Amino acid sequence: MDYHRTPLGTSTAPYRDVWHVVLANTAARHHTERHCFSLQSHLLGAAVLLMVEETPLVTSSAMASPTVPAPSRFLIFFDFDETVIAESSDDAVIRVAPGQTIPDWLKDTFRPGQYHEHSRHILTYLAQQGVSEGTIRDAIENIQPAPGLPVLLGFLRSHHQDFECVVLSDANTYFIETWLRKAGTRQLFSEILTNPGSFNKDGHLVLQPYHAHTCPRCPDNMCKQVILRDYLGRRARERGIPFQKVFYIGDGANDVCPTLALGQKDTAFPRRDFPMHRVIQDMQREQPGIYKPMVMPWASGEDVVDCLKKAMEER
C-alpha cells in the first residue's frame, strides 16, 4: 500500500510536493548515506602427513567437498502495488465494500504520507460492514498482473541461479502472500519485506507498521531505504561477497528513497510516467549528479527482461 497511490477523489500533487521539500536535504545527506560492503576471503588449508608406506593414498576425488552452488550474481527488489500487480490492492478491496466504494467521510481521512493508517481505517470499515476473509481473499486473487510481469517472472524463474528476488512493499503480508501463491510465484521470492497483516479471531484483517524510523522522506511506518540497506548488509555478511549488481523495480514516490542507496553500477526501473519516474526526472534536472544508479523506465515487464539479459552477458 504505497503512499504514492491516489485515494479516490484526491490529487497526486501532494506526493511530488513532499519530494520537492526534501530534495535539498537529500544532496547534503547523500554522501553520508553510502553503504560500503567489504569482501572478506577465507582460505582453508589441510596438510596430510604420510607416516608409513602402508598408509593408503587418499585420492583427490575422495577429498573433494560437495559442490556448493555459486551465489546469485544479482539482487532484484520489487515493489508490489502497480509494479507486480496492475493496480492498488486497496482499490481492489474497496470494490467489495457495499456499493463498491467507501463513504466520503472515510476518503477524507487520508493524509499525504499516511497511506498505511488510511488502509487500516478502510479495513476497519470493511469489517464493520461484514466483509469476510473469503471475500477479501477473492478480491486479491483476482487482481491482474502488471503489463508484461508474467514474462518477467518467467524469465527470472528460468534464471533463478543468477537472481535473488525480494518484494519490498508498503502493502501487507496478507495481500502479497495471497496474490503470489495464487499466481504460483511465491517460491521465486526469497523474502517479502512489508507491513505485517493477518486476520484476528474476530475475522478482521489487522495491519501493523513495519518499523519506526527517522527518514523525513518516508511515511511513518516504513522507510524502504533503511530496509534495503539492512537487507544488503545482512546478505553481504551471509554470502561473504557482495552482489554484482542491484536492481529496483517500482512505480511510486516512496520507491525513490531506497534507490538513493544504489550505486552507479546498479539500476532503477521506474514505471514510465508514474510518480517514481517523475520524481527522479525532477531530481536529475534540479540537482544533476545526485542520483547515482542508471535509470531505465519501463512500461512492460518485457522492458526489464531486455535490460537483465544484457546484465547477464557482462562478466
The conformational region for residue 169 under phi > 0 = left, psi -120 to 50 = alpha, else beta, is beta
Looking up cell 490529487 gives 11
The length of the chain is 315
Q: Confirm if 18 and 244 have CB atoms less than 8 A apart.
A: no
Q: Is 267 helix (H, G, I), strand (E, B) or coil?
A: strand
Catalytic residue among 79, 170, 251, 303: 79
Catalytic residue among 81, 90, 170, 255: 81
What lies within 8 Å, CB to CB, of 250 at 6+ separation is 77, 78, 79, 83, 258, 259, 268, 269, 270, 271, 276
Whether 108 is catalytic is no
What lies within 8 Å, CB to CB, of 192 at 6+ separation is 166, 167, 169, 173, 176, 177, 180
Whether 273 is catalytic is no
Q: Confirm if 199 and 133 have CB atoms less than 8 A apart.
A: yes
Give me the helices (H) in 111-217, please: 115-128, 133-141, 149-158, 173-183
Residues carrying an active site annotation = 79, 81
